[in-house]
Chain A
C-alpha cells in the first residue's frame, strides 16, 4: 500500500467520503452508504454561487475536481465556480470583489492584501513543492550541483535555455527569489538570449520548455499531470526553498462573502484537509499537496 501521513481515523473518514463520492458520481446509487442516511432530503433551494479565484497551477493539477465536489457534497447550499488565473490577477479579482474567496500562493502579497482591508484573514491551507525540470540530457549539468544555489548558477551560466512564466504568478515570484538567493540578477529576454518568458500558465510554459528542450521551474502537481506528454525530467527537487505555501482568504464585502467563509472554513477543517492529503496518491502514487492548516 501507499504511504500515508494521516492518522488512521482520518483515513477511515476519507474511505467513507471516497465511497460516497464514487456512488454519487457514478449515478447508480443502489444502496446508499450508511453515512448518507442523516442527509435525509435533498435541498430544494437553488445553491448559492461562490466564486473561488485561484491559480492555474492548482487548476491544472486536477485538485479542484476532487476538492470542489467534496465541498459541494458536504455543503449542498453552495456551488463553487473556479476562476483559475495567476496569483496577481486572483488578488486583483479580490480587490474588485469579483471573487468571494481566494486560494493563492504568494504569502507576502496575501498579507498585504489583508492588511489593505480587502480580506478577513489569511490562513495556511497546504503546501506543495516546486521542481526544476529540464531535458533528460541535462546539458547545463544541474543534477551535479551541490545545492540549490549551485543549480541555479548552472542554469544561469546560459549554456542551455530556460523558460520563465514571466506572468508575476506565485511560481514566477518563486523563480525570482531563487535567482536572488543564488546571487544572480534576474535574467531578461532582452539581455539573455537563453532566457525565454511566456507570460502564460504553468501548462503552456512546460510545453514551451519541452519544445525548446529548456529548463523551467514547475510545481510538482502540474509537472506530474503532464509528465507523460513531455520530454522533460526533474533535475532538482526536495530543497526547503522549493516549498510553496498556499493560503485562503475570504474577501470582505464580496457578493457571497458568507459562502466564501463557509468554503474557507471547510478547506481548513479536518474533512477538507483529508481530501487534500489524499489527492494524487491513487493516480501518481504520491501526495501532491501536504495539508498544513493550523
Chain B
C-alpha cells in the first residue's frame, strides 16, 4: 500500500510547493473546455429545441443521430480533427493542429450531441398545450421558444453539466489534436497521462485530485442553479 501513501505524500508536497504548474494547467483546461461548452450550447440548444418540438420527418433521424452521437468515441473525433487540421489535410493552411483552438474544435464536436440530446428530451417533456396557448395569445416563434426553454431549464442545466463533464474529463481527442505542449495545450487529463507514463505517480495523483475537485465544484454550482430554478417554479 506504500504506493498510495508515497504518491499522496509526494502529490501533496507538489501542490503545496507549487513545483508543479497546476494552476497553469487548470487554467488551460478551463479556458478550453468552457469555450467549447459555450460554442456547443450555441448550436446544441437551438438544435435540441427543434428536435424536441417539431413534428417533422427529419426529427426521428435527428434524434437517432444525437443519441448515437453521445456514444461517439472521442478518439475517432480526435483522429478526424487531427487529419483535417494536419498540414497535409484540407484545413492544413490554418496551421491549427497542436493548438488550443484545435482542442476546442474537437471538444465542441464531442459536446454537441450530448447537449442536443438532453435538450431535446427536456423540451419534449414540456406540455404541448403551453406552446399552443402561447401561440394563440400571439407569441412570436422566438418568444415561444424562449418560453419553452425557460420551462425546461432544469433539463438545460443537465445538458450543460453533461456536455462539460464529457469534455473536461476526456483525454484521447485532446491528446491527439493538442499534443500536450507544456504551457500551451497541456490540460489536466493529458498531464495525468504524461506523469503516469513518466512514473511520477505523485504528480499524476495530485492533478487527478484537482480534476475531481473541479468537477465537483462545477456540479455544485450547476445543481445550485437547478434547485434555485425549482424554487422559482414552485413560486
Chain A contacts to B: CB under 8 angstroms: 85-86, 88-93, 96, 166-169, 189-190, 196-200, 204, 207-208, 210-212, 231
**A-B CB contact pairs (8 Å), 19 listed:** A85-B199, A86-B197, A86-B198, A86-B199, A89-B196, A89-B198, A92-B201, A168-B198, A189-B182, A197-B181, A197-B183, A199-B182, A199-B186, A200-B175, A200-B194, A208-B181, A211-B86, A211-B95, A211-B98
Residues of A within 8 A of B175 (CB): 200
Residues of A within 8 A of B194 (CB): 167, 199-200
Q: Is B148 an interface residue, CB under 8 A from the partner?
A: no
Task: Count residues on chain B whose CB falls below 8 Å from chain A CBs.
Answer: 23
Residues of A within 8 A of B200 (CB): 88
Known: A89-B198, A211-B86, A231-B87. A198 touches B183 (CB 8 A): no
Q: Is B3 an interface residue, CB under 8 A from the partner?
A: yes
Q: Is B48 an interface residue, CB under 8 A from the partner?
A: no
Give the 10 A-B residue pairs with the shortest CB-CB distance, closest first.
A92-B199, A89-B199, A199-B194, A197-B182, A189-B182, A189-B183, A88-B198, A88-B199, A208-B179, A211-B97
Q: Is B230 an interface residue, CB under 8 A from the partner?
A: no
Residues of A within 8 A of B3 (CB): 96
Query: Are B180 and A200 in contact, with the CB atoms below 8 A?
Result: yes
Q: Is B40 an interface residue, CB under 8 A from the partner?
A: no
Query: Are B179 and A204 in contact, with the CB atoms below 8 A?
Result: yes
Residues of A within 8 A of B183 (CB): 189-190, 197
What CA separation (Å) do A161 and B163 show in the bound complex? 35
Distance to closest chain B CB from A193 (angstroms) = 10
What CA separation (Å) do A54 and B123 show in the bound complex? 54
Distance to closest chain B CB from A4 (angstroms) = 37
Query: Are B181 and A85 in contact, with the CB atoms below 8 A?
Result: no
What CA separation (Å) do A60 and B199 show in the bound complex? 20
Q: Is B157 an interface residue, CB under 8 A from the partner?
A: no
Query: Are B199 and A189 in contact, with the CB atoms below 8 A?
Result: no
Known: A85-B197, A86-B197, A167-B198. A196 touches B87 (CB 8 A): no
What CA separation (Å) do A91 and B181 show in the bound complex? 24
What CA separation (Å) do A189 and B179 show in the bound complex? 14
Residue of B87, B181, B194 with most chain A CB atoms under a 10 A cut-off: B181
Residues of B within 8 A of A93 (CB): 199
Distance to closest chain B CB from A50 (angstroms) = 20
Query: Are B184 and A189 in contact, with the CB atoms below 8 A?
Result: yes
Can you name the residue of chain B whose Cβ is closest to the Cβ of A163? Answer: B181
- Residue among B184, B186, B190, B197 making CB contact with A89, cutoff 8 Å: B197
What CA separation (Å) do A87 and B154 show in the bound complex? 50
Distance to closest chain A CB from B200 (angstroms) = 8
* Interface flags, B103-145, vs A, CB<8A=1, else 0: 0000000000000000000000000000000000000000000
Residues of B within 8 A of A207 (CB): 179
- Residue among B98, B182, B199, B201 making CB contact with A166, cutoff 8 Å: B182
* Interface flags, B178-221, vs A, CB<8A=1, else 0: 01111110100011001011111100000000000000000000
Known: A167-B194, A211-B97. A198 touches B179 (CB 8 A): yes
Given pairs A85-B199, A197-B181, 5 additional interface contacts (CB within 8 A):
A86-B199, A199-B198, A207-B179, A210-B87, A211-B97
